[in-house]
A and B are shown apart, each in its own frame.
Chain A
Amino acid sequence: MSKKTLIIVPAYNEAGSIADVVENIHKHVKDADVLVVDDGSQDRTARKARESGAMVISLPYNMGIGSAVQSGFLFAKEKGYHFAVQVDGDGQHPTSEIPRLLAALENGVDLAIGSRFVQPTNYRPPLLRAVGIKIFSFLTSSIVGKRVYDTTSGFRACGRKAIVLLTETYPHDYPEVEALITLHRNGLRFVEVPVEMNYRQEGKSSISTKAGVYYMLKVTLAVLVAVIKRRNGE
């Protein structure tokens, strides 16, 4: 692979898992740089990440996952990376699948989603979440004009065009669905690559029920607004 690849790992208080994630990435992706974006963690996330051989950008306060990932995009854009892959710092995303996402980019798409629902997997989301996932899938599919199964997966690889676009416009919280609409509206193409994720043992999600309601409302509104938003540079 001659093209420069950056693996962006947003991490908020992930001192327990970050070293494993970084090591796994190095194991599965040979010639990529790993950038951990420490999103204002209070624990030793930054230090652990640095010790495991990653580059670390520390945000001065907790900015939210979207802003953290966007910091990575900014870095990738300025440093001239061709590809940027987003991998969560909690170990949920299968680093072994990164090469398959990159292969999709090599084939000329602008963004590849590591998708849980294209093929039947072992993942059984709780009822409320399953409903939300269905709604976003339906909304996105109708707007984009093709079937999109997993709109909320944060396991993604971006090509240069997507990096530049998302550096300019990326929501600060719950960014995944809206970003797809933004890409579509700007004429960029994305595909889904089926992957099997590692699920948290305790089943504790970062999104509580109360936050889940906000998530639904915010993302639905954001998606509808994204449709009528002006394109970048217009």
Chain B
Amino acid sequence: MIEIATHLRIIIGILCFTLVGIIIELIRQNRLKEHYAIIWLLTAVSIFIFGIWPDSLNMISRIVRLHHLTTLFMVAFLFLLAIVLHFTLVISQLFDRNRRLTQEVAWLRFELEQIMQEEKG
């Protein structure tokens, strides 16, 4: 059993609800896309689970045969790694779209100049 003091659980609980609150507010203000909010909501839920049910960490520790603190770091590290990979995917997609958009804009500007010149001349 991992013992977590009551006041610590309360702090973790408050932390999670604050995180969820911030995310919902960001979506509401149209500053965060729902698509990307999912990963953050999952983060909040996982922290919450570890907070109220610390033994879940113990179970993972037994499976991977590590100290529970090491397990905690491992879980956090893998999670961050997944987020970074996700971001890289998003950036790659944005890069491709941005490139095509720029090319189309340059081409349309050329066409526009042609039309304007024809009207003048």
Contacts and interface: CB of A to CB of B under 8 A. Distances in A.
Contact of B103 (A55, A56, A59): A59
B112 to A, nearest CB: 12
Interface residues of B, number: 10
Nearest to A71: B103
Contacts of A59: 102-103, 106
B33 interface: no
Interface in B102-117: 102-107, 109-110
B67 interface: no
B28 interface: no
A209 to B, nearest CB: 27
B93 to A, nearest CB: 14
Contacts of B103: 59, 63, 67, 70-71, 74
A60 B107 contact: no
User: Interface of chain A, helix or strand or loop or mixed?
Assistant: mixed
Contacts of A172: 95, 99
Interface residues of A, number: 15
A70 B99 CA distance: 10
Contacts of B99: 63, 67, 70, 172
Nearest to A78: B107
Contacts of B109: 57-58
A75 interface: yes
A74 B107 contact: yes
A86 B103 CA distance: 17
Nearest to B113: A56
Interface in B83-112: 95, 99, 102-107, 109-110
Contact of A75 (B95, B102, B105, B107): B107
B102 to A, nearest CB: 6
A172 B98 CA distance: 12
Interface in A65-95: 67, 70-71, 74-75, 78
Contacts of B105: 60
Interface in A31-73: 55-61, 63, 67, 70-71
Query: Which of B95, B99, B106 has most A Cβ within 10 Å?
Result: B106
Query: Which of B95, B102, B103, B105 has most A Cβ within 10 Å?
Result: B103
Interface of B: 95, 99, 102-107, 109-110
Interface of A: 55-61, 63, 67, 70-71, 74-75, 78, 172
9 contacts: A57-B106, A58-B109, A58-B110, A59-B102, A60-B106, A63-B102, A63-B103, A70-B99, A172-B99
